[in-house]
Structure 1
Amino acid sequence: MIIYKVLKDKKQYIDLLLLADEQEDMIDRYLERGTMYVLDDNGIKAECVVTIENDDILEIKNIAVLPECQGIGYGRALIEWIIREYKGRYSILQVGTGDSPSTVPFYEKCGFVKSHMIKNFFIDNYDHPIIENGTQIKDMVYLQKRI
Protein backbone atom coordinates (compact mmCIF):
# COMPACT_ATOMS: atom_id res chain seq x y z
CA MET A 1 0.00 0.00 0.00
CA ILE A 2 1.30 3.45 -0.93
CA ILE A 3 -0.16 6.92 -0.42
CA TYR A 4 0.91 9.71 -2.72
CA LYS A 5 0.09 13.33 -3.46
CA VAL A 6 -1.80 14.17 -6.65
CA LEU A 7 -0.27 17.32 -8.13
CA LYS A 8 -2.38 17.81 -11.25
CA ASP A 9 -5.55 16.62 -12.96
CA LYS A 10 -7.33 15.96 -9.65
CA LYS A 11 -10.63 15.65 -11.52
CA GLN A 12 -9.49 12.29 -12.90
CA TYR A 13 -10.68 10.99 -9.51
CA ILE A 14 -14.12 12.62 -9.74
CA ASP A 15 -16.01 9.32 -9.41
CA LEU A 16 -14.25 8.65 -6.12
CA LEU A 17 -14.66 12.25 -4.94
CA LEU A 18 -18.39 12.08 -5.65
CA LEU A 19 -18.74 9.15 -3.25
CA ALA A 20 -18.02 11.53 -0.36
CA ASP A 21 -19.50 14.74 -1.78
CA GLU A 22 -22.17 14.05 -4.33
CA GLN A 23 -22.41 17.51 -5.89
CA GLU A 24 -19.56 18.43 -8.22
CA ASP A 25 -19.85 22.20 -7.80
CA MET A 26 -19.33 21.72 -4.05
CA ILE A 27 -16.16 19.72 -4.77
CA ASP A 28 -15.00 22.53 -7.06
CA ARG A 29 -15.06 24.91 -4.06
CA TYR A 30 -12.12 23.16 -2.39
CA LEU A 31 -10.45 20.80 -4.86
CA GLU A 32 -7.88 23.15 -6.37
CA ARG A 33 -6.94 24.83 -3.09
CA GLY A 34 -6.73 21.48 -1.33
CA THR A 35 -4.00 18.89 -1.32
CA MET A 36 -5.14 15.51 -2.63
CA TYR A 37 -3.74 12.16 -1.59
CA VAL A 38 -4.54 8.80 -3.14
CA LEU A 39 -4.16 5.39 -1.53
CA ASP A 40 -3.01 2.72 -3.96
CA ASP A 41 -3.06 -0.94 -2.94
CA ASN A 42 -2.86 -2.86 -6.22
CA GLY A 43 -5.10 -0.15 -7.67
CA ILE A 44 -6.64 3.07 -6.35
CA LYS A 45 -8.75 2.27 -3.31
CA ALA A 46 -9.25 5.66 -1.60
CA GLU A 47 -8.58 9.38 -1.74
CA CYS A 48 -8.48 12.33 0.64
CA VAL A 49 -8.45 16.10 0.11
CA VAL A 50 -7.20 18.36 2.91
CA THR A 51 -7.18 22.14 3.15
CA ILE A 52 -5.37 24.55 5.41
CA GLU A 53 -8.03 26.56 7.24
CA ASN A 54 -5.71 28.71 9.38
CA ASP A 55 -2.35 28.49 11.16
CA ASP A 56 -3.62 25.77 13.50
CA ILE A 57 -6.36 23.91 11.62
CA LEU A 58 -6.13 21.42 8.78
CA GLU A 59 -9.45 20.15 7.42
CA ILE A 60 -10.41 16.95 5.65
CA LYS A 61 -12.75 18.17 2.93
CA ASN A 62 -13.24 14.85 1.18
CA ILE A 63 -12.31 11.30 2.03
CA ALA A 64 -13.69 8.36 0.12
CA VAL A 65 -13.06 4.65 -0.15
CA LEU A 66 -14.39 2.50 -2.97
CA PRO A 67 -17.60 0.83 -1.73
CA GLU A 68 -16.20 -2.68 -2.20
CA CYS A 69 -13.14 -1.71 -0.13
CA GLN A 70 -14.91 -0.07 2.81
CA GLY A 71 -14.56 -1.47 6.30
CA ILE A 72 -11.08 -2.90 5.86
CA GLY A 73 -9.02 0.04 7.10
CA TYR A 74 -8.24 2.21 4.08
CA GLY A 75 -10.07 5.27 5.44
CA ARG A 76 -8.37 4.97 8.81
CA ALA A 77 -4.99 4.45 7.08
CA LEU A 78 -5.44 7.69 5.16
CA ILE A 79 -6.35 9.62 8.31
CA GLU A 80 -3.38 8.20 10.22
CA TRP A 81 -1.09 9.05 7.30
CA ILE A 82 -2.43 12.64 7.15
CA ILE A 83 -1.81 13.01 10.90
CA ARG A 84 1.79 11.80 10.55
CA GLU A 85 2.37 13.99 7.50
CA TYR A 86 1.12 17.20 9.15
CA LYS A 87 1.99 16.62 12.83
CA GLY A 88 3.95 19.53 14.25
CA ARG A 89 2.70 21.95 11.60
CA TYR A 90 -0.95 22.08 12.71
CA SER A 91 -2.53 21.36 16.07
CA ILE A 92 -6.02 20.34 14.94
CA LEU A 93 -7.33 18.10 12.18
CA GLN A 94 -11.03 18.67 11.60
CA VAL A 95 -13.69 17.22 9.37
CA GLY A 96 -17.17 18.39 8.49
CA THR A 97 -19.62 15.65 7.65
CA GLY A 98 -23.31 15.00 7.45
CA ASP A 99 -24.96 14.23 10.77
CA SER A 100 -25.23 10.59 9.84
CA PRO A 101 -25.23 7.43 11.93
CA SER A 102 -22.78 5.81 9.50
CA THR A 103 -20.13 8.54 9.17
CA VAL A 104 -19.94 10.25 12.58
CA PRO A 105 -19.11 6.99 14.43
CA PHE A 106 -16.29 6.29 11.95
CA TYR A 107 -14.58 9.56 12.84
CA GLU A 108 -15.20 9.03 16.55
CA LYS A 109 -13.49 5.61 16.29
CA CYS A 110 -10.54 7.46 14.74
CA GLY A 111 -10.31 9.69 17.82
CA PHE A 112 -12.27 12.73 16.64
CA VAL A 113 -14.72 14.49 18.96
CA LYS A 114 -17.69 16.64 18.01
CA SER A 115 -16.87 20.32 17.91
CA HIS A 116 -19.86 22.17 16.49
CA MET A 117 -22.76 21.88 14.04
CA ILE A 118 -24.12 23.95 11.17
CA LYS A 119 -27.88 23.49 11.06
CA ASN A 120 -29.47 22.88 7.64
CA PHE A 121 -26.11 23.03 5.82
CA PHE A 122 -27.10 20.40 3.27
CA ILE A 123 -30.55 21.91 2.72
CA ASP A 124 -29.10 25.40 2.22
CA ASN A 125 -26.08 24.46 0.06
CA TYR A 126 -27.07 21.48 -2.10
CA ASP A 127 -29.47 21.51 -5.03
CA HIS A 128 -31.06 18.19 -4.02
CA PRO A 129 -31.78 16.29 -0.82
CA ILE A 130 -28.88 14.25 0.56
CA ILE A 131 -30.25 10.86 1.54
CA GLU A 132 -28.23 8.28 3.43
CA ASN A 133 -29.70 4.94 4.45
CA GLY A 134 -33.19 6.30 3.81
CA THR A 135 -32.74 9.40 5.99
CA GLN A 136 -32.34 12.95 4.74
CA ILE A 137 -29.14 14.54 6.01
CA LYS A 138 -29.68 18.18 6.97
CA ASP A 139 -26.96 19.28 9.37
CA MET A 140 -23.17 19.46 9.06
CA VAL A 141 -21.29 18.15 12.09
CA TYR A 142 -17.70 19.20 12.69
CA LEU A 143 -15.39 16.83 14.50
CA GLN A 144 -11.84 17.61 15.58
CA LYS A 145 -8.76 15.73 16.66
CA ARG A 146 -5.58 17.15 18.18
CA ILE A 147 -2.52 16.20 16.18
Structure 2
Amino acid sequence: MDLLQDIVIRPLAKNEPVPYELLLLADPSKEMIDGYLPGSAIYVAQSEDRIIGEYVLYPLGGKAAEVKNIAVEAPLQGQGIGKLLLMHAVSTARAKGYRSVTIGTANSSVAQIYLYQQQGFQITDVKEDYYLLNYAEPIYENGERCKDQLVLTKQL
Protein backbone atom coordinates (compact mmCIF):
# COMPACT_ATOMS: atom_id res chain seq x y z
CA MET A 1 0.00 0.00 0.00
CA ASP A 2 1.39 3.40 -1.01
CA LEU A 3 0.43 5.81 1.76
CA LEU A 4 0.76 8.88 -0.48
CA GLN A 5 -1.67 7.50 -3.06
CA ASP A 6 -4.27 6.87 -0.36
CA ILE A 7 -4.18 10.42 1.02
CA VAL A 8 -7.01 12.82 0.28
CA ILE A 9 -6.45 16.52 1.01
CA ARG A 10 -9.63 18.46 1.62
CA PRO A 11 -10.92 21.56 3.40
CA LEU A 12 -11.86 20.98 7.03
CA ALA A 13 -15.65 20.98 7.25
CA LYS A 14 -17.27 23.66 9.41
CA ASN A 15 -18.77 21.02 11.72
CA GLU A 16 -15.43 19.23 12.27
CA PRO A 17 -13.28 20.00 15.31
CA VAL A 18 -10.12 22.01 14.72
CA PRO A 19 -7.20 19.50 14.73
CA TYR A 20 -5.23 21.27 17.46
CA GLU A 21 -3.07 18.22 18.14
CA LEU A 22 -1.60 18.64 14.63
CA LEU A 23 -1.57 22.45 14.63
CA LEU A 24 0.39 22.41 17.90
CA LEU A 25 3.11 20.27 16.28
CA ALA A 26 4.00 23.20 14.03
CA ASP A 27 3.14 26.04 16.42
CA PRO A 28 3.30 25.32 20.16
CA SER A 29 1.16 28.35 21.08
CA LYS A 30 -2.62 27.85 21.05
CA GLU A 31 -2.97 31.62 21.47
CA MET A 32 -0.95 32.27 18.30
CA ILE A 33 -2.97 29.62 16.43
CA ASP A 34 -6.28 31.08 17.60
CA GLY A 35 -5.04 34.48 16.41
CA TYR A 36 -4.63 33.38 12.78
CA LEU A 37 -7.40 30.81 12.37
CA PRO A 38 -10.19 33.38 11.87
CA GLY A 39 -10.14 34.25 8.19
CA SER A 40 -7.96 31.25 7.37
CA ALA A 41 -8.80 28.03 5.58
CA ILE A 42 -7.72 24.74 7.16
CA TYR A 43 -6.97 21.82 4.85
CA VAL A 44 -6.47 18.30 6.17
CA ALA A 45 -4.70 15.24 4.81
CA GLN A 46 -6.80 12.17 5.44
CA SER A 47 -5.84 8.52 5.09
CA GLU A 48 -8.85 6.25 5.37
CA ASP A 49 -10.83 7.69 8.30
CA ARG A 50 -7.90 9.41 10.01
CA ILE A 51 -6.62 12.98 9.70
CA ILE A 52 -2.82 12.69 9.54
CA GLY A 53 -1.74 16.17 8.47
CA GLU A 54 -2.89 19.71 7.89
CA TYR A 55 -2.04 23.17 6.62
CA VAL A 56 -3.57 26.58 7.17
CA LEU A 57 -3.83 29.06 4.30
CA TYR A 58 -4.14 32.68 5.41
CA PRO A 59 -4.85 35.61 3.06
CA LEU A 60 -2.35 38.44 3.52
CA GLY A 61 -4.27 40.97 1.44
CA GLY A 62 -3.85 41.85 -2.18
CA LYS A 63 -2.70 38.85 -4.16
CA ALA A 64 -0.61 37.18 -1.44
CA ALA A 65 -1.31 34.29 0.93
CA GLU A 66 0.67 32.66 3.72
CA VAL A 67 0.91 29.05 4.81
CA LYS A 68 0.63 29.72 8.55
CA ASN A 69 0.90 26.15 9.75
CA ILE A 70 1.80 22.84 8.16
CA ALA A 71 2.16 19.60 10.10
CA VAL A 72 2.14 15.82 9.81
CA GLU A 73 1.63 13.29 12.61
CA ALA A 74 5.04 12.54 14.14
CA PRO A 75 5.19 8.81 13.20
CA LEU A 76 4.43 9.65 9.56
CA GLN A 77 6.93 12.48 9.12
CA GLY A 78 9.65 12.02 6.52
CA GLN A 79 7.43 10.08 4.10
CA GLY A 80 6.56 12.88 1.68
CA ILE A 81 3.26 13.95 3.26
CA GLY A 82 4.56 17.42 4.16
CA LYS A 83 5.72 17.90 0.57
CA LEU A 84 2.29 16.78 -0.66
CA LEU A 85 0.60 19.30 1.67
CA LEU A 86 2.94 22.10 0.56
CA MET A 87 2.30 21.35 -3.12
CA HIS A 88 -1.45 21.33 -2.42
CA ALA A 89 -1.18 24.68 -0.62
CA VAL A 90 0.60 26.21 -3.61
CA SER A 91 -1.98 24.77 -6.04
CA THR A 92 -4.85 25.99 -3.86
CA ALA A 93 -3.35 29.49 -3.60
CA ARG A 94 -2.87 29.61 -7.37
CA ALA A 95 -6.46 28.45 -7.97
CA LYS A 96 -7.72 31.17 -5.61
CA GLY A 97 -5.92 33.81 -7.68
CA TYR A 98 -2.99 34.54 -5.39
CA ARG A 99 0.25 35.58 -7.05
CA SER A 100 2.58 34.64 -4.21
CA VAL A 101 2.70 32.36 -1.19
CA THR A 102 4.88 32.90 1.85
CA ILE A 103 5.79 30.59 4.69
CA GLY A 104 7.66 31.38 7.89
CA THR A 105 9.85 28.96 9.79
CA ALA A 106 12.45 29.00 12.50
CA ASN A 107 16.14 29.48 11.81
CA SER A 108 16.68 25.97 13.23
CA SER A 109 14.11 24.23 10.96
CA VAL A 110 16.73 22.79 8.65
CA ALA A 111 14.60 20.06 7.02
CA GLN A 112 11.68 22.44 6.44
CA ILE A 113 13.91 25.14 4.92
CA TYR A 114 15.38 22.54 2.57
CA LEU A 115 11.89 21.32 1.55
CA TYR A 116 10.61 24.84 0.93
CA GLN A 117 13.63 25.75 -1.18
CA GLN A 118 13.28 22.50 -3.17
CA GLN A 119 9.72 23.60 -3.98
CA GLY A 120 10.84 26.98 -5.34
CA PHE A 121 10.53 29.15 -2.22
CA GLN A 122 13.25 31.73 -1.62
CA ILE A 123 14.23 33.46 1.61
CA THR A 124 12.80 36.98 1.36
CA ASP A 125 12.98 38.22 4.95
CA VAL A 126 14.41 37.46 8.38
CA LYS A 127 12.36 38.49 11.41
CA GLU A 128 15.02 38.79 14.07
CA ASP A 129 14.15 37.50 17.56
CA TYR A 130 10.64 36.53 16.38
CA TYR A 131 10.43 33.44 18.60
CA LEU A 132 11.98 35.22 21.58
CA LEU A 133 9.45 38.07 21.37
CA ASN A 134 6.28 36.12 20.50
CA TYR A 135 6.48 32.95 22.59
CA ALA A 136 6.51 32.83 26.39
CA GLU A 137 8.31 29.47 26.51
CA PRO A 138 11.57 28.76 24.67
CA ILE A 139 11.22 26.53 21.61
CA TYR A 140 14.00 24.13 20.67
CA GLU A 141 14.42 22.29 17.41
CA ASN A 142 17.33 20.12 16.34
CA GLY A 143 19.01 20.98 19.65
CA GLU A 144 18.98 24.70 18.87
CA ARG A 145 16.76 27.40 20.35
CA CYS A 146 14.43 28.96 17.80
CA LYS A 147 15.28 32.64 17.64
CA ASP A 148 14.72 34.19 14.22
CA GLN A 149 11.94 33.50 11.72
CA LEU A 150 12.92 33.01 8.10
CA VAL A 151 10.24 34.09 5.63
CA LEU A 152 10.28 32.28 2.31
CA THR A 153 8.20 33.30 -0.70
CA LYS A 154 7.22 31.60 -3.93
CA GLN A 155 5.88 33.58 -6.87
CA LEU A 156 2.98 31.84 -8.59
| TM-score, scaled to structure 2 | 0.88
SS in 2 for 1:80: helix
CA distance in 2, matches of 1:96, 1:22: 14
Paired with 2:104 and 2:45, the residues of 1 have a C-alpha distance of: 21
Match in the other structure for 2:115: 106
Q: Does 1:85 align with 2:92?
A: yes
Letter of the aligned partner of 1:66 in structure 2?
E
Q: How well do the aligned residues superpose, as a CA RMSD in angstroms?
A: 1.5
The percentage of counterpart residues that share the same residue type is 32
The residue type equivalent to 2:137 in the other structure is H
Q: How does 1:1-147 map to 2 (within 5 A)?
A: 1-8=7-14, 12-42=18-48, 43-87=50-94, 89-100=97-108, 101-147=110-156
Q: Runs of 4+ in structure 1 displaced over 6 angstroms?
A: none
Distance of 1:91 and 1:10 partners within structure 2: 30
Where does residue 4 of structure 2 map in the other structure? none
**Alpha carbons of 1:138 and 1:10: their partners in 2 closer, same or farther (altered >3 Å)?**
farther
The whole-number CA distance in structure 2 between the counterparts of 1:113 and 1:86 is: 17
Label 1:25 to 1:11 Cα distance change in 2 as closer, same or farther (>3 A). farther
- 3-state DSSP class of the match of 1:107? helix
Structure 2 unaligned runs (5+)? 1-6
Q: What are structure 1's unaligned runs of at least 5 residues?
A: none
Q: Structure 1's 97 and 10: CA in aligned 2 closer, same or farther, altered over 3 A?
A: farther
Aligned partner of residue 18 in structure 2, secondary structure? helix
Task: Tell me the CA shift for residue 110 of structure 1.
Answer: 1.9
> Per-residue deviation at 1:103?
2.2
In the alignment of these two chains, the number of paired residues is 147
Normalised by the size of structure 1, how large is the TM-score? Answer: 0.93
- Tell me how far apart the structure 2 counterparts of residues 115 and 11 of structure 1 sit (CA, whole Å): 34
Native 8 Å contact 1:10 1:36 kept in 2: no
SS in 1 for 2:79: coil
Deviations 1:33-61 (A, max 9, x none): 21000011222111000100011211000
Alpha-carbon distance, 1:7 to partner: 3.5
